[in-house]
Amino acid sequence: MFDKLFRRHGKSPSAQAAEESGFPETLVETREDDAAAVADESAPGGATVTGDTLGGAAPLTVAVDLDFTYVCRACVVDRAHRVIGYEFMLRENDARGAQADDPVVRQLDEQALLTRLVKMDLSRLLAYRYTFLTVSAQLLLRQAMEQMPPDLTVFLVRADSFGAHIDPNITARMTHLRRMGFGFGLLVDEHNLHLVDQLHHLTHYVVIDLGGSDPNRLLDEAVNGLRRWPETQLFIKHVPDLHTFELCNAMLTKYVGIHLFQGGFLVQPLPWRSDHVDTGKTRIVRLLKAIKQSFDIPALAESLRHDPLLLSRLLRYANSAAASPLSKVNSAERALAIMGRENIYRMLTVLLFCSGEVEDRDVAIMDNALVRARFAETLGTGHLPQADCDNLFLVGMFSLLHILLRVPPDEALLPLDLPAEVADALLGGTGPYAGYLDLVVSCEHGDQERIALCAAQCDVNEAIVNACHLEAILWAQELARV
């Protein structure tokens, strides 16, 4: 597991080949029709959207500036909080304001995001997790859709983009893309849920957004509809809190399938439990503090011998290819000497999230913390000293520690004896690292203007932000895989 933590190796290696997706297939014989496909991007620094009419409007031909397009992500989990993949986006609806319902703006965003993701080679970056993209129906006609990795990509098609009548060219295109291995969801609201009856044979997920105007009614109708669409599952977006998640889970108990969820419930603070002591995590916190104060190998080795599981993980890493030992490492003292202070500290930081009493949500929290940590660290690489990059890793990793431990942030951080600059960023949003934390967190919320401001403060451009973000996702999934 910890091979990827050894910082001297730099960026993570390529992910393993894509696994079979297991999408349920219902093949429909039909002709391939690409005549209505939209033209590919051609202008440097920008792109042109052309295509069929949108809801009866004139054909769309608009230039879009792609110079500042920051890719954002939202974690997608199943009913057991296992991370299934990520929904990639440019903006959340609430970050777009009044433009959220403008079909022109939506297609421009979708096109710009598709352009960026195609260039990022997601088949390498996401080897066994899925990419979810919300798209208008007309975008499916573009040849660029086929450049996304099939078997790893699920297109969430907006039901309101079909207009009054479903275009047979679009359903033919969906059938063709399904045959290639792509998955499909249909994003519906209370006004167009009936379209699932016509398209469920092409759809793997019925997607509902609890951020809409009447979420309770929509959820009830969608769950009841699963009786008519036995081959589909629900994908519920913008689940606000754990109470709502548990309610949805209870409603889906009798329906077989891998139902998916996305939303703020994954990082929602729960009621504090300061009177509860998790001995497994407490032991690691003590070790982290001891390492910061003094890297006393005999004393640390004695502490590790009182925790056989932790010692076994240390020895496994010390004997891994990353550490490259000349002979087998059998003792805690030798393992500590080979790995050194910084790598031991990193290993224990990660283990803090998955040791002791581990609840279902903790795994998703750890995934998010790992992405934040690596993202922040790599943003600083190249123009900050290594010590600052190490501290940025800690800032990202510990930004969710209070959520994990269910204690106030100051109480979570106090035993760790962190550098003052790290504590300032985490507790007060101040100091030299605060801007980096703000940047990585903003990339989870889809506010392009906020991200651009943070990037300028950190003196990094859009290409660096996107590259560091996607590399961090790869690094985190490789680490969590073992």
Q: In this model, does residue 336 exceed pLDDT 70?
A: yes
pLDDT at position 46, please? 39
Tell me what the mean pLDDT of segment 408-416 comes to.
87
Tell me what the mean pLDDT of segment 206-211 comes to.
94
| Domain ranges in the chain with CATH number 3.20.20.450 | 46-267
Strand 72-77 and strand 62-65: pairing? Answer: unpaired
Q: Which residues pair with 188 in a beta bridge?
A: 208
Q: In this model, does residue 76 exceed pLDDT 80?
A: yes
Determine the residue type at 141.
Answer: L
Assess if CATH 3.60.9.10 describes domain 46-267.
Answer: no
Tell me what the mean pLDDT of segment 434-463 comes to.
92
For residue 25, the surrounding DSSP H or E stretch is none
Nearest to 239 by CA among 209, 216, 217, 219: 209
Determine the residue type at 438.
Answer: D
Task: Please answer whether residues 182 and 153 qualify as being in contact, where contact means their C-beta atoms are separated by less than 8 angstroms.
Answer: yes
Confidence of residue 275 (pLDDT cuts 50, 70, 90): low
Highest mean pLDDT: which range of 89-103, 198-212, 402-416: 198-212
pLDDT at position 352, please? 80
Average pLDDT, the chain: 79
Q: In this model, does residue 20 exceed pLDDT 80?
A: no
Provide, rounded to the nearest whole percent, the portion of the chain with pLDDT above 90. Answer: 42
Strand 130-135 and strand 153-158: pairing? Answer: parallel
Q: In this model, does residue 385 exceed pLDDT 60?
A: yes
Confidence of residue 102 (pLDDT cuts 50, 70, 90): confident
Task: Please answer whether residues 307 and 276 qualify as being in contact, where contact means their C-beta atoms are separated by less than 8 angstroms.
Answer: no
281-293 b/e with 16+ CB inside 10 Å = b?
bebbbebbeebee
Tell me what the mean pLDDT of segment 252-261 comes to.
88
Determine the residue type at 33.
Answer: D
